[in-house]
Structure 1
Amino acid sequence: MKASSIYALACVGVILVLVSSCSLNDKPNFTIVKSAIGAAAEPSESAALEQLSSWSDALYAAANQSNRQEAYLLLQRIEELAATDDVRKTGTPAGWHAFDLSLQAAKKAMSEKGTTTLWYTEAARLKLASDAVNRPEAPLWLQYEGVLRDDSQRILTAWQSQIEDRAMAAEAAIGIYGEHLDRLEVAALMQRDAGELEAVRERLDYMKEVVKAVGSGQLRHETVNSALDRVNASASALFKDPSDEGEPAVAEAIPPGVTVGQRREGSMQLAEMFIAAFVMGVLGFAGWRKYRGGQEKGIPISRNKFNG
């Protein structure tokens, strides 16, 4: 074969290799383009969720300062943003329904006098819910697992105390537990089945009735411990990741040995959000004890003064 023929065949081979390489690269290049388009679309959703969380934080701060004008303006912005498709892609229908109800409750309470505590509570619920959809991997509401555990221990301590009115003390502690449960409700519904939250509520209500029944001699003392165990079991199920039957949800999102508070700089925020309810419960019980003591000593106490 002539040298010119060999050279021509070599050229043809090189051309075929180049064409083949180009055709093989067509698909990966298309994939890269699609990925770039998808990445460009994602910021719209994430930015909306970030904005929702930011406004909810500002709403909670305004409520904490009793700034009705700023709070009402933020509520309007949150309501408009929360209605968009980009925001509602995250969370659950039940969660967003509860979110809408909380928004309306806050607006209604804000338009009336003497309702600062009510719209403050709704602001806290909205803050936790917005945080849950914005940071679903480690939401702030999961820290309430420890809070409810402490509440449970407080109920048990009150019930096992030797004071005459231990039933009333236990009921006051149950009330604090219920307030904390109300606080996390909307956030929990964004990530959990509504039945799990309802189970905790039903068992807490049942326990309250058991405490009253035992106090009046209708049930045995041990019944309270059993009812409290059921409350604890339901609460534990609420905080577990639905896709995992082992570890609690907190452990799913955070490495071993690291708490949610370490992962998120939110421990102080949480303290602010539940300590008020605890203090109010303690003061309420202390006021009741003072009223009861006054009755035993025959000291008249004005009902209006006590309620004020």
Structure 2
Amino acid sequence: MLYRGTWRSLGLVLVVVLGIQLVAGCSKGDKPIESVEPKPSTEQLQRVELLNETADDMYKKVMQGDLDGGRALLQQVSDQVTTIRYEGLTTLEGLNALTESVTQGKKLFNSVRVSPEEGQIAAAQIRLATDALSHPEQPMWLQYYKLLQEDVNRVEQAGKEQKLPQFQKAVSVLDRHVTIIIPSLLISRDPVDVDKFRSLITFIAGQARTEQQPYQPIDNVLPQVRQLIDKLFLKKDTTAFLPVVDDNDPILWTVAIGSVIIAALGFAGWRLSKKDNGLVPVRKNDEG
């Protein structure tokens, strides 16, 4: 008969050490390896800032009624767009949205007859899109949050009153405001969410053009519209009720969790040591 207490103690020590090392690794915030997004270079940022300034000048010209001056500056915007590398600045969908808004703006301004309102919408689209590139943390299009909320409220109220002209006008205003910020949304937000939002607005605009009681179908989707607006503008409370680890003092977490592991392993070892009074028989083999 041999005592196995010594071997058990060594085993417990090894398990505890491994457990503490594992906990220590977790407390340091180890995460799976993820792909690192490329950061824009200084040259990229300078080119984007120049693009934004040119778009701002173009927008001001158009808002002042100078469509010829706006057309000339829009051509400069178009030329500058092709000189920028967009890695780290936006997604492929965002790049396509920017180039499409510029292309459509040029077609509009080069047409024989262009209304001031159409020119202003196109100029605003491009201006907000370039700003979204140059100011990703606080783009100007975020100022549309309250405006869209008011638009949705007016659509809902007009639907309750069931006055078709007022209802169609309210929907038209909502559709116009969303159209202005769509390129900026595609530059700054998840394209999947943007497509859902755009589809709902397209559905609402289509329903409003019908003459057969469009109110109820639109009223049914307004809650989804509000939810997507909150999500896209980062207004929704998405706090998850999860344990929060204090990264400023990871040692305390290591000691605390390690103590729990030691206590559990110690109790298990004590239970095992009580079995057969800590003795284990060693049998000889036949040849012994």
Aligned ranges 1:39-58 → 2 under 5 Å: 42-58=41-57
Counterpart CA distance in 1 for 2:239 and 2:175 is 26
CA displacement, residues 181-237 of structure 1 (integer Å, 9 cap, x when unaligned): 000011111011222122122223334566678x746x8x76543321122122222
Pair 1:78-2:77 in alignment: yes
Q: CA deviation at 1:151?
A: 0.4
Counterpart CA distance in 2 for 1:52 and 1:224 is 39
The aligned counterpart of 2:174 is 177
Pair 1:167-2:164 in alignment: yes
The aligned counterpart of 2:63 is 64
Checking the alignment, whether the CA contact within 8 Å between 1:125 and 1:184 is kept in structure 2 is yes
Q: Report the aligned-residue RMSD.
A: 2.9
Counterpart CA distance in 2 for 1:210 and 1:73 is 38
Checking the alignment, whether the CA contact within 8 Å between 1:107 and 1:119 is kept in structure 2 is no
Aligned ranges 1:158-237 → 2 under 5 Å: 158-161=158-161, 166-208=163-205, 216=212, 224-237=218-231
Checking the alignment, whether the CA contact within 8 Å between 2:109 and 2:119 is kept in structure 1 is yes
Checking the alignment, whether the CA contact within 8 Å between 1:124 and 1:183 is kept in structure 2 is yes
> What SS class does the counterpart of residue 138 from structure 2 fall into?
coil
Structure of larger gyration radius: 2
Aligned ranges 1:83-94 → 2 under 5 Å: 83-86=82-85, 89-94=88-93
1:67 to 1:212, Cα distance in 2 relative to 1, 3 A: closer
CA displacement, residues 242-296 of structure 1 (integer Å, 9 cap, x when unaligned): 9x9449xxxxxxxxxxxxxxxxxxxxxxxxxxxxxxxxxxxxxxxxxxxxxxxxx
Counterpart CA distance in 2 for 1:68 and 1:204 is 29
**Normalised TM-score (structure 2):** 0.61
CA displacement, residues 142-165 of structure 1 (integer Å, 9 cap, x when unaligned): 11121110101111121223xxx6
> What SS class does the counterpart of residue 76 from structure 1 fall into?
helix
Amino acid corresponding to residue 47 of structure 2 in structure 1: A
CA displacement, residues 9-35 of structure 1 (integer Å, 9 cap, x when unaligned): xxxxxxxxxxxxxxxxxxxxxxxxxxx
1:234 to 1:77, Cα distance in 2 relative to 1, 3 A: same
**Greater mean alpha carbon deviation, residues 134-143 or residues 109-118:** 109-118
Greater relative contact order (Cα < 8 A, sep 6+): 2
**Equivalent residue pairs, number:** 200
Structure 1 unaligned spans of 5+: 1-40, 248-308
Q: Structure 1 vs Structure 2: percent identity of aligned residues?
A: 22
Checking the alignment, whether the CA contact within 8 Å between 1:95 and 1:189 is kept in structure 2 is yes
Counterpart CA distance in 1 for 2:155 and 2:235 is 26
Counterpart CA distance in 2 for 1:119 and 1:64 is 8
The aligned counterpart of 2:112 is 113
